[in-house]
Structure 1
Amino acid sequence: MSERSYSLLGLWPIINRWKSLVGAALALALVVSLIVALLLPNIYTSTAVFFPTNPQSSDPDRIVEGGKLDLGGRTEDLDRVITIGQSQPVAELIIKRFDLHRHYDTGQPGDDAADDKALREFSSNLSIVHNEREAIELTFQDYDKQLAARIANDLVQIIDSVNQQLTLENRRNVLGLYRTRYEFLNTEYERSRRQLVQARRRYGIYGLEQQSRYLAREIIKVESQLNQAQAGGPGNVAGLRRALRGLTQADGGNVINLENYVRGTDSLAMFTARLTDLQERLVKARGEYETADVTLKGKLSSLYVVQKAYPATKKSKPVRWLIVVGSVALTFALSIVVITLLELLRRTRRMSSASGL
């Protein structure tokens, strides 16, 4: 036996027999869907487009030193920004800032059921996706087009702020290290400076080059006079010997003498070299600390916003004609199924009655 074929034309007699019921169902579906479509509020969509930057390239410390801002976000940068935008703390902050409990009519804040309903409603209206151009599109929907645009723009700012906070704590720790190093070098510099002053007072050395010339000239002069006096020339031999001893020995009574000069030269050279080194390091440490402090206080965006969210000029949904057409088409299809089943049931009963007779 050949298999029996089915077609829509074969259903026409069945539809014709049940045309009143089908017509009533279609008319009811048309009226109900039309009423529902007209009662649905207009939903507006606002979209912000931005590129995330690499936190290392947007670090102010690197930019002050001449680094360039890298606008090309890596995969991990894109994932991090999307995760921040979809996080619950960010959602709760927006819900509180715009009083969305009242806007969504979910109940009083603080109630678990109301909070959960507001959070679910907010999440259903938010979309953050990574598009094919390596950018992020943040979209928010609401029946208030002005509110949708404000929420989308605030979300971008919050994501930027949280993204910056990820490196802010480490930068504060680095600033603390700069401050500690600067304070240490400043203390060491002051201590070394006092040691140098004390050494100058102890050894009577205040100018190496001037004092060396003075001592050499005076010693040669006194020795020459002493030699002349010992040879019978003018001069007091004992007085010249005391003068020579004062110039050459520390216990001779002179503040400036050759023995202290020789003894203190090495110490002063060491203290001077130490002080010079500390001074250079101190100046550098102070500059690094001031730079780190200024850059920490500066706010550099970690996002490059290509397009801010603007209030939509036309609704995105609902598509009312599609709702009406879809409802009528679905009702027609269900009607065909129902009347076909009724026809099969009626035929089965007739066949059962005929076989019983």
Structure 2
Amino acid sequence: MSARTYSLLGLWPIIHRWKRLVLAAVGFAALVSLVVALLLPNIYKSTAIFYPTNAVYPTNTETSDLDRFITEQGNKREISNRPEDLDRLITIGNSQPVAEQIILKYNLHERYDVGTPGNELDDQDALEEFTENLDIVHNERDAIELTFLDEDKKLAARIANDLMGMIDSINQQLTLENRRRVLDLYRTRYTYLNKEYTRTKGALLTARKRFGIYGMDRESRFLAQEIIETQADMYRAESAGDAGRAAALRRSLRALTQADGGSVINLENYVQGADSISTLEARFEDLQLRLVQAQAAFENAELALKGRVSSLYVVQKAIPAARKSQPVRWLIVASSVLITFVLSVIVVTLIELYRRNLGANRRTYTEDPVLTNTL
């Protein structure tokens, strides 16, 4: 036997026979859903958007390289947001202590009609209602969106902004110890560079006095020129038979070329000390630059710690919404009508099938003589 096929077009005769019942059910659903939709209060949504900022203090001081936070001008570099920073702020915003402070501040027990503060069950009901109206998510742009829903659009905006302020305050308290530790690292770095700078400066001065190299412009050129000219004059004096002048020039040449000749600037000391002085000068210039950067970084960090710099970069404060976000009344009515229509069709179809099966069973008993005699 071939299986019976069904078609949606076959439902039309059934719907037509039961059209009054179906229309009555759909009309009743439309009326009830319309009344319910009109009675539902308007819900407004306010959203605040912010980033966690680590421009001044990193949170992980054990793995932080201080040179990463200093540019050539001594300013801080902006650090990209890390997942742990975002998760910490979201966790703070969803924490129970923050929710309880907001509930008590705005007397949400009365607003949510859940009893009085202090009662354990009433507090739990208020907390659950508050949690349902709060949404804190990490969006695709690495920012945090804090959204709060309420019937009063101005209250929703105030609560969202207060929540953002509490997140900032608690986050600063949690990271305050790390900030102090980072400040100590800056201080230690600055102190070390200052000592090295002073020591290198002293070593450079000592080396210059010892070797007679003071870093004057074209010092080596003048020394070589003087040696060559003195030697040439000495040869001319010897050729002219001027023994006294030649002896004087010989002493001058010895003073210019040998360390024990009596001249402060001489070739022997210059050759011996040129490399050492060059190394010390390079070291001194490097320490001088790093010291200036470290001092600027330490002063900025100290000022920021005393000034309680915000740990959030606010992109958008919550403002009262111009339009409601809930409920979508036409969607409520349309979905109710559609669901009622579908259920009505299913019910009348089942009734028709039941009647057909019942009629078929009765004909079977009537046409079969054995069953008829038995009955």
TM-score, normalised on structure 1? 0.63
Match of residue 94 from structure 2: 86
Aligned 8 A contact 1:48 1:139 in 2? yes
Aligned 8 A contact 2:57 2:182 in 1? no
Q: Shift of residue 134 of structure 1? A: 1.0
Q: Distance in 2 between matches of 1:146 and 1:119?
A: 21
Match of residue 164 from structure 2: 156
Q: Distance in 2 between matches of 1:171 and 1:350?
A: 86
Pick one of 339, 343, 356 that aligns with 2:352: 343
Aligned 8 A contact 1:52 1:72 in 2? no
Q: Distance in 2 between matches of 1:292 and 1:19?
A: 79
1:313 aligns with 2:322: yes
1:332 aligns with 2:341: yes
TM-score, normalised on structure 2? 0.60
Give the aligned length: 248
C-alpha spacing 1:2/1:12, structure 2 compared with 1 (3 Å): same
Deviation per residue, 1:199-231 (Å, 9 max, x gap): xxxxxxxxxxxxxxxxxxxxxxxxxxxxxxxxx
Q: Shift of residue 292 of structure 1? A: 8.0
Match of residue 48 from structure 2: 48
Q: Distance in 2 between matches of 1:302 and 1:159?
A: 9
Aligned 8 A contact 2:136 2:145 in 1? yes
Q: Distance in 1 between matches of 2:184 and 2:156?
A: 42
Q: Shift of residue 298 of structure 1? A: 1.6
Superposition map of 1:61-72 within 5 A = 66-68=74-76, 70=78, 72=80
Deviation per residue, 1:50-102 (Å, 9 max, x gap): 1112386368x989x94516263111111111111111111111111111111
Q: Shift of residue 169 of structure 1? A: 3.8
Match of residue 332 from structure 2: 323
Pick one of 144, 150, 159 that aligns with 1:142: 150
Q: Distance in 2 between matches of 1:79 and 1:134?
A: 11
Match of residue 6 from structure 2: 6
Question: Which runs of no fewer than 5 residues in structure 1 stay unpaired?
Answer: 179-287
Aligned 8 A contact 2:37 2:329 in 1? yes
Q: Distance in 2 between matches of 1:53 and 1:346?
A: 72
C-alpha spacing 1:305/1:355, structure 2 compared with 1 (3 Å): same
Match of residue 190 from structure 1: none
C-alpha spacing 1:25/1:289, structure 2 compared with 1 (3 Å): closer
C-alpha spacing 1:290/1:137, structure 2 compared with 1 (3 Å): closer
Q: Distance in 2 between matches of 1:142 and 1:89?
A: 20
Aligned 8 A contact 2:56 2:304 in 1? no
C-alpha spacing 1:110/1:87, structure 2 compared with 1 (3 Å): same
Q: Shift of residue 21 of structure 1? A: 0.9
Q: Quick one: percent identity of the two aligned structures?
A: 63
- Alignment-mate amino acid for residue 312 of structure 1: A
Match of residue 111 from structure 2: 103
**What is the root-mean-square deviation in Å for CA atoms of aligned residues?**
3.0
Deviates more, 1:65-74 or 1:117-126: 65-74
**Paired residue secondary structure (2:145):** strand
Q: Shift of residue 356 of structure 1? A: 1.7
**Paired residue secondary structure (1:73):** coil
1:114 aligns with 2:128: no
**Paired residue secondary structure (1:4):** coil
Superposition map of 1:1-357 within 5 A = 1-54=1-54, 57=57, 66-68=74-76, 70=78, 72-170=80-178, 295-357=304-366
Q: Shift of residue 348 of structure 1? A: 1.3
